[in-house]
Amino acid sequence: MSEPLLSVRRLSAGYGATTVVRELDLEVRAGESAVIIGPNGHGKTTLLRALNGLIRPSAGEVLLDGEEIAGRPSEQIARLGAVLVPQGDGLFPEMTVEDNLLMGAFLGQSWRDRRRSLAHVYDLFPGVKARADQQARTLSGGERRLSALGRALMRPSTILMIDEPSLGLAPVALDAVYGAIAELKSAKTTILLVEENFTHVGGIADSIHVLEMGSITRSGSYKELSEDEGVVAAYLGSIT
Amino acid sequence: MTDLVGILVTTVILGSIYGLVAIGMTLIYGTLRILDMSQGSMVMIGSFVGWGILVSAHWNPVLAIVFAFAATFVLGMMTQLVSVQPLMGRRKAIDFEMVTFITTFAVAMILENVALEVFGPQQRNVTPVVSGGVNVYHGVNLPYQSIAMAAISILLMGGLGLFLGKTRWGMAIRAVAQDLDAARLMGVPVSKLYPVTMGLASSLAGVAGVFLGAQFFAYPQAGDLPLLEALIVVVFGGLGSLPGTVYAAYVIGLIQATTEVFLGTTWSLPILYGVILFVLIFRPQGLLGKPSEARL
């Protein structure tokens, strides 16, 4: 089996004196779609923030493509190809959608490459193209989420991390967002996605990890975990 | 009609100069969330650079502008590295705005006293960048110096707008102002961007200093009044709002020019501050500012 693209060993992180992620281990292989599920407040977002340098881990190691990234600033981690679609989308509210997309290609691309990436994203998300000249703050929840996903695709990534893409979306928007993620998976993009429950991830998850109280407590395929009554009953809600 | 032309001309001149100094402060506030009290010193340094090049060296006026821009750009970057950067890592643990208000004020005092030591307290005449003038309308005389001052200010403000709106690094500055974490996730090297932003803002004040020096002399306290006026423009326009700053600069220029024509210069400042007091009571966020937020 190949070396993992992302390897997390005994990672601890939190805010001030409060530790949220505790000695967490995780591996994601190239081309894999890994999903982390777990209740609110158990450390999913904190994990992604620590992996992307937005908070400094208090202990542990994180290797991305063999390179240690724990404790490095976000901008350096971004240079290694990590791309995060954060919770709340992280769009620049006073910029147009197109300027937001162009910011996604801030790192080392020529003007021509940026225009090419822009055309690619517009092909993938025609709805985003229709809003190109609109300020990001005026978008609906679904449009924001698709724009943020589009921005994440503006530069080549080694791993794409997405924080709760379903949060607060209406069913139609949700289908569009997960449809886009499914396309990324079929293009063999390495994905690490966090969600609160099983409901939407069946079609995209190669592996699922349950995160409770800051640590991974169970891992398996979608089928394995959806047959675990304890997991379903205690933490994960309904399965479709 | 003569009064009206006089008011319009004065408004454009005053507004352009106020705008040039204030827009730098807005750029810094929008990006770093600090009120940079060293900006007045950059005006002062610009005026001394103007004096050195135009009066002492008798060089081309364009060189005065270029040198003032370069010198204050470097000084602005150094000010950020000395008085702001060491505090960046602790910005959430301290009253960042208040502490940096004081640290940049300390830099201003150091620069002012170094200038006092080097140049002495006397006011020095600075040759106008361009001499002569034109009669625009029945006795309303407009010095070429004022035209150049307004034109270069407008050019620099427009250039800054284009830079922020259309270039990769300009967009990065706006991105940092709007969402720091998201900008870092895009790969924007914020620790390099901050000093460059403060250098850029300082260089605008430096260029303004070349013109203000010719208008009001070069001396160690030459930046104090422009700093105060820029602060008023920045707050009146809405902290962190670039369009608001430009708008406010010309509104304040208009108020001052109108008062001076109809009531005399004695009433200029009381009326100006009265209007500002009135507006800020009803719109504490300023003309174009957003409540509790600042966006470039």
- Run of H or E residues at A132: none
- Residues of chain A with Cβ-Cβ distance to B295 below 8 Å are 93-94
Q: How far apart, in Å, are the Cα atoms of B187 and each of A150, A158, B268, B288?
A: 16, 14, 48, 30
Res B292 pLDDT > 70: no
**pLDDT score of A239:** 43
The ipTM assigned to this model is: 0.91
List Cβ neighbours of B16 (8 Å cut-off, separation of 6 or more).
B149, B150, B153, B154, B157, B249, B253
**What is the residue-averaged pLDDT of chain B?**
89
A240 has a pLDDT exceeding 50: no
A-contacting residues in B 190-249 (Cβ below 8 Å):
190-191
Residue A237 has pLDDT above 60, yes or no: no
Mean pLDDT of A43-70: 95
- What's the gap in Å between the CA of A41 and the closest CA on chain B? 20
| Confidence band for B53, pLDDT divided at 50, 70 and 90 | very high
Contacts of A54 in chain B (CB under 8 A): 181, 184-185
Give the model confidence (pLDDT) of A144-189 as tens digits. Answer: 989 999 999 999 899 999 999 888 777 887 888 888 889 889 989 9
Task: Indicate whether B239 pLDDT > 90.
Answer: no
pLDDT single digits (tens) B100-151: 999 999 999 999 999 999 999 999 988 887 888 888 777 778 888 888 888 8
Which pLDDT score is estimated for A238?
Answer: 47
Whether residues A90 and B296 touch (CB distance < 8 A) is answered with no
Q: Is the pLDDT of residue B249 over 50?
A: yes
Two tokens, residue A227: 């047959």
Which residue in B242, B246, B239, B245 sits closest to B292, CA to CA?
B239
Q: Can you give the pLDDT at residue B291?
A: 65
Q: Does the pLDDT at position B22 exceed 60?
A: yes
Put simply, whether A117 touches B (Cβ < 8 Å) is: no
Per residue in B279-290, pLDDT (tens digit) is: 889 888 887 777
pLDDT of res. A236 = 55
List chain B residues with CB under 8 Å of A92. 174-175, 178-179, 182-183
Q: Do B179 and A90 touch (CB under 8 A)?
A: yes
- Distance, in Å, from the CA atom of A45 to the CA atom of A110, rounded to the nearest integer, reads 33
CB contact under 8 A, A99 and B295: no
Residues of A in contact with B181 (CB under 8 A): 54, 74, 86, 90
Contact residues, chain B, for A84 at CB < 8 Å: 185
**How does the average pLDDT of chain A come out, rounded?**
89
pLDDT given at position B296: 65
**Domains of chain A in sequence order:** 6-236 (3.40.50.300)
Closest Cβ–Cβ partner in B172, B181, B295 for A106: B172
Whether A168 and chain B come into contact, CB under 8 Å, resolves to no
pLDDT at A30: 94
- Average confidence (pLDDT) over B87-96: 86
Asked if B290 has any chain A CB less than 8 Å from its own CB, the reply is no
From residue B217, alpha-carbon distances to B19, B50, B72, B209 in Å are 20, 10, 18, 10
> What's the rounded Cα separation, in Å, for the pair B58 and B126?
11
Contact A103 B184 (CB under 8 A): no
- Entry pTM: 0.85
pLDDT at A227: 84
CA distance B191 to chain A (A): 10
Residue B39: its pLDDT value, please? 95
Q: Which of A22-26, B89-93, B154-158 has the highest mean pLDDT?
A: A22-26
CB-CB: which of B175, B179, B184 is closest to A73? B184
